[in-house]
Structure formats: structure tokens, C-alpha cells
């Protein structure tokens, strides 16, 4: 019988048992609406404020600077559109990078249709934005810079503190999409010097459909969801109390033993990368080998399609991804790999294996055992493979 090995922790992570326990009361007996004033609702209101305190503590922020959202995508949309519209009298130019998640790229495309102009900074072959490029792209019209903290496909960690400092010198707002970073690497909003930061619970052992946006006190940003007075009237909608209880517990757990966990995961990741490069000819690691999320391994195998690889891995019980979860299913090559300068035919053949807390040494051994054979079989079928 095949094993099941989950190596798609950048797409989502399993909910931790302690997180589920923290959520259950608010799906059962504690069903009060946190906005209600009677006693039955007090536990729900307390759960929401506790979650806010837990998120704030994990990020080095004040609880009053944390605003809950329905997902990381919403946090990105709010930060970008909210800051753009609130500051458009000062200017209508925004700076971002070519390798952002679609939650950012499509928000920016929308703003371009509304008359904003956007500069998409290139990245080097490891996927890094250059501070000098940012400096040169700033104009009198620039009101916002949005650059991700860690890339979801190749795991490259951007020099956010340095980039934010450049924006701050010119009084320009700085947002970072830290959805892949929170729970994997240290994230402190003060050390980073950012004005806004997005996160999402399901990337670090929390439930899906819950996120948060850090908004530094005093930041000028429009309300995104209009309605009731929740989230200090800045993001209306009855709170997802159980989800927030889960987010609070998950972020406390994920950031509590961060360095110990990262060291273990990184060792597994290095074993995987070294094993693949040693066993599979014409294989290549995408992204930086140093400034990289501990659990991310992203490979290109010449002459084959990522999709075909995923199906064969799935048949052997391995869940993985080609590019991001949002782009798998489409045959377009990854915009991230193209931005690294990889040619189309190579950008099609990528495989992302992302390691999480639940993975073991045996999981890695299993992948190293089956992957070379799968790649070889697909190459034998490929018209591009020399000799075929």
C-alpha cells in the first residue's frame, strides 16, 4: 500500500489538534454574537479580543493595530486598495514586484483600471528585489510600496526592512504580504518598519478563511467592508469567532517554538534538495539557497511538464504542487519562474515540495526513492528529451 505524504504546506497546513480544541466551544455552546450586550455573548467577545492580543503579541504590534479579515487575499486587497484610494490626492503611483501573489497583482491591475500607475520591480535570478531598483522607481507621485515578505512558489525572503526604510525616507506607505512568512520565520512589524502586513491562519496550522491585516496606528487607509461597527468600524461583518479563536491559538503555537521548528524543517528541506540534485540529472533548484523559507523546495526538471509530474506523484501518495495552488490547473508557466529569467519550457516543469511540522525523515526518503523514476519515465515520453 502507498504511503500518504503531504508536501504542500505552502498551499495549506493541517489544523493542529490544539487549534481545533480552541475553536470548538464557539461552534457549540458559545454561539453568542460578540456585539451583543447580554452575558451569553461575553465568551465570544472575549475570544475575539484574546485572538487580537495573541496576533498582536506574535507580530510585536498593539492589539488596536490588528484587524481581522476573511483571508489573506482580503487583507492584501484591503491594504492595497484602501491605501491607494485614501491617499490618491497625494499621488497615484504604486510600486510592487513582478513575483507577488495574485491577491496583490490582481488588486493592482484593478487599480490600474481606475487610473493608478504601477511599477512592477524585476527580481534577480534568486527572486530578490533590489533596494536600489526601489530607490530609482520612486517618483513624486508614489504613495504606496507593496512587496511580499516571502514568495509562495520559490520561498525567497525579500529584504523587507531595507526596502521599507527606503519608502519611509520618502514618507511612502509600505505594505508587505507576509502570508507565507508568519509562522515560518520571525516577523516583527517594528523591526521590519512596515505600515501594513497581511497574514492568513491556514498557512500555520489554523483554519481556512481567517486572516488579519496589521495597520500601524495613524496609517491613512479607507474602510474596505461597509456595514456594522465591528473591527472599530473599519471592517464590518459579524466576526468568525471560532475561526479567530483558531487563528489566535495557531499563531501562538507557530511562533512559540519558531527557531527549533525551523531548524528541524530546514534540515529535512536540505536533505530533500541535496538528494534530488544528486539523484536526478538536469535538475535545478529555483530561488535563493540562503534567504529562503525553511520548508520550501522548488525544482525544475528539464524536458517535462509539472502537471504530469504532479499526477504521477499523486498516484504514489505524494501531494505536491507546481507553482502556486492558484495557478496549478492552468497550463500557463509560472509568472514567478519567468521573472527569474527561466525560459518558458523550463518554467513549465516546476515542482514545489513544501515541508511542514508534521513531515518526517521517512517522508523525505520516500520522495527521494520514487521521484527519480517518475522523472525518468516522463522524460522517456517527452519529445523534447534528447535521444527520444
**288: Cβ–Cβ under 8 A, 6 or more apart, which residues?**
126, 127, 128, 154, 155, 156, 157
DSSP 245-311: HHHHHHHHHHHHTHHHHHHHHHHHHHHHHHHHHHHSTTEEE-S-SSSB-TTEEEEEETTS-HHHHHH
Q: Which stretch binds ligand PLP (CB under 6 A): 69-77, 80-88, 265-273, 348-356?
A: 69-77
Nearer to ligand PLP (CB atom), residue 65 or residue 76? 76
Q: How far apart are CA 137 and CA 314, in angstroms?
A: 44
Closest CA to 10 of 207, 223, 295, 213: 295
Nearer to ligand PLP (CB atom), residue 11 or residue 375? 11
Residue nearest to ligand PLP (CB): 72
Per-residue interface string for the shown chain with ligand PLP, residues 310-339, x marking contact by CB under 6 A: --------------xx--------------
Nearer to ligand PLP (CB atom), residue 10 or residue 283? 10
Is there binding between residue 81 and ligand PLP (CB under 6 A)? no
Nearer to ligand PLP (CB atom), residue 78 or residue 116? 78
Is there binding between residue 152 and ligand PLP (CB under 6 A)? yes
Q: How far apart are CA 184 and CA 189, in angstroms?
A: 15
Residues 255-314, interacting with ligand PLP (CB under 6 A) = none
Nearer to ligand PLP (CB atom), residue 67 or residue 303? 67
DSSP category for residue 196: E
Nearer to ligand PLP (CB atom), residue 179 or residue 213? 179
Number of residues engaging ligand PLP in binding (CB under 6 A)? 15
Q: Which stretch binds ligand PLP (CB under 6 A): 49-57, 66-74, 132-140, 369-377?
A: 66-74
Q: Which stretch binds ligand PLP (CB under 6 A): 139-147, 174-182, 254-262, 293-301?
A: 174-182
**Known catalytic residues?**
326
Report the residue from 180, 255, 327, 334 that binds ligand PLP according to the rule CB under 6 A. 180
Q: Are 199 and 176 in contact (CB under 8 A)?
A: no
DSSP 35-70: T--SGGGHHHHHHHHHHHHHHHHHHT--GGGEEEES
Is there binding between residue 154 and ligand PLP (CB under 6 A)? no
Coil, helix or strand for 211?
strand
DSSP 117-145: EEEEE---TTSPPPHHHHHHH--TTEEEE
What's the min distance (Å) between Cβ of 73 and ligand PLP?
3
Is there binding between residue 240 and ligand PLP (CB under 6 A)? no
Report the residue from 32, 72, 207, 323 that binds ligand PLP according to the rule CB under 6 A. 72
Report the residue from 54, 107, 200, 286 that binds ligand PLP according to the rule CB under 6 A. 200
Report the residue from 13, 44, 54, 73 that binds ligand PLP according to the rule CB under 6 A. 73
Helix 42-59 to helix 241-256 angle (10° resolution) is: 30
Is there binding between residue 103 and ligand PLP (CB under 6 A)? yes
Nearer to ligand PLP (CB atom), residue 106 or residue 165? 106
Q: How far apart are CA 197 and CA 58, in angstroms?
A: 13
Q: How far apart are CA 173 and CA 219, in angstroms?
A: 8
Q: Which stretch binds ligand PLP (CB under 6 A): 161-169, 176-184, 268-276, 338-346?
A: 176-184
Is there binding between residue 123 and ligand PLP (CB under 6 A)? no
Q: Are 325 and 312 in contact (CB under 8 A)?
A: no
Closest CA to 224 of 49, 62, 74: 74
Report the residue from 30, 65, 177, 305 that binds ligand PLP according to the rule CB under 6 A. 177
* Residues lying near ligand PLP in the complex (CB under 6 A): 71-73, 76, 101, 103, 148, 152, 177, 179-180, 200, 211, 324-325
Amino acid at each position: 500500500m502507498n504511503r500518504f505524504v503531504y508536501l504542500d504546506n505552502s498551499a495549506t497546513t493541517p489544523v493542529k489538534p490544539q487549534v481545533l480544541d480552541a475553536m470548538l466551544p464557539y461552534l457549540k455552546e458559545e454561539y453568542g454574537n460578540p456585539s451583543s450586550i447580554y452575558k451569553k455573548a461575553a465568551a465570544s467577545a472575549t475570544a475575539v479580543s484574546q485572538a487580537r492580543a495573541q496576533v498582536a503579541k506574535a507580530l510585536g504590534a498593539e492589539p488596536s493595530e490588528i484587524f481581522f479579515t476573511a483571508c489573506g487575499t482580503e487583507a492584501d486587497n484591503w491594504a492595497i486598495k484602501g491605501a491607494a484610494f485614501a491617499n490618491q490626492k497625494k499621488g497615484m503611483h504604486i510600486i510592487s514586484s513582478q513575483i507577488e501573489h495574485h491577491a496583490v497583482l490582481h488588486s493592482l491591475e484593478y487599480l490600474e483600471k481606475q487610473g493608478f500607475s504601477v511599477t512592477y520591480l524585476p527580481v534577480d535570478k534568486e527572486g530578490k528585489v533590489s533596494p536600489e531598483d526601489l530607490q530609482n522607481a520612486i517618483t513624486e507621485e508614489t504613495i504606496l510600496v507593496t512587496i511580499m515578505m516571502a514568495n509562495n512558489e520559490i520561498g525567497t525572503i525579500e529584504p523587507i526592512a531595507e526596502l521599507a526604510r527606503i519608502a519611509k525616507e520618502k514618507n511612502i506607505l509600505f505594505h508587505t504580504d507576509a502570508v507565507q512568512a508568519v509562522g515560518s520565520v520571525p516577523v516583527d512589524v517594528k523591526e521590519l518598519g512596515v505600515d501594513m502586513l497581511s497574514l492568513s491562519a491556514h498557512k500555520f496550522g489554523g483554519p481556512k478563511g481567517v486572516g488579519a491585516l496589521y495597520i500601524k496606528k495613524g496609517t491613512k487607509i479607507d474602510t474596505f467592508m461597509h456595514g456594522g461597527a465591528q473591527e472599530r468600524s473599519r471592517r464590518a461583518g459579524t466576526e468568525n469567532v471560532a475561526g479567530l479563536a483558531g487563528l489566535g491559538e495557531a499563531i501562538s503555537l507557530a511562533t512559540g517554538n519558531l527557531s527549533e521548528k525551523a531548524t528541524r524543517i530546514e534540515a529535512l528541506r536540505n536533505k530533500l534538495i541535496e538528494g534530488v540534485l544528486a539523484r536526478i540529472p538536469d535538475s535545478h533548484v529555483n530561488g535563493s539557497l540562503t534567504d529562503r523559507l525553511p520548508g520550501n523546495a522548488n525544482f525544475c526538471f528539464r524536458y517535462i511538464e509539472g502537471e504530469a509530474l504532479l499526477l504521477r506523484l499523486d498516484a504514489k501518495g505524494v501531494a505536491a504542487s507546481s507553482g502556486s495552488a492558484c495557478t496549478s490547473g492552468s497550463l500557463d508557466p509560472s509568472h514567478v519562474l519567468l521573472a527569474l529569467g527561466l525560459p518558458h519550457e523550463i518554467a513549465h516543469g516546476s515542482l514545489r515540495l513544501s515541508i511542514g511540522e508534521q513531515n518526517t525523515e521517512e517522508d523525505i526518503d520516500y520522495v527521494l526513492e520514487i521521484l527519480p523514476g517518475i522523472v525518468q519515465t516522463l522524460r522517456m515520453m517527452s519529445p523534447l528529451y534528447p535521444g527520444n
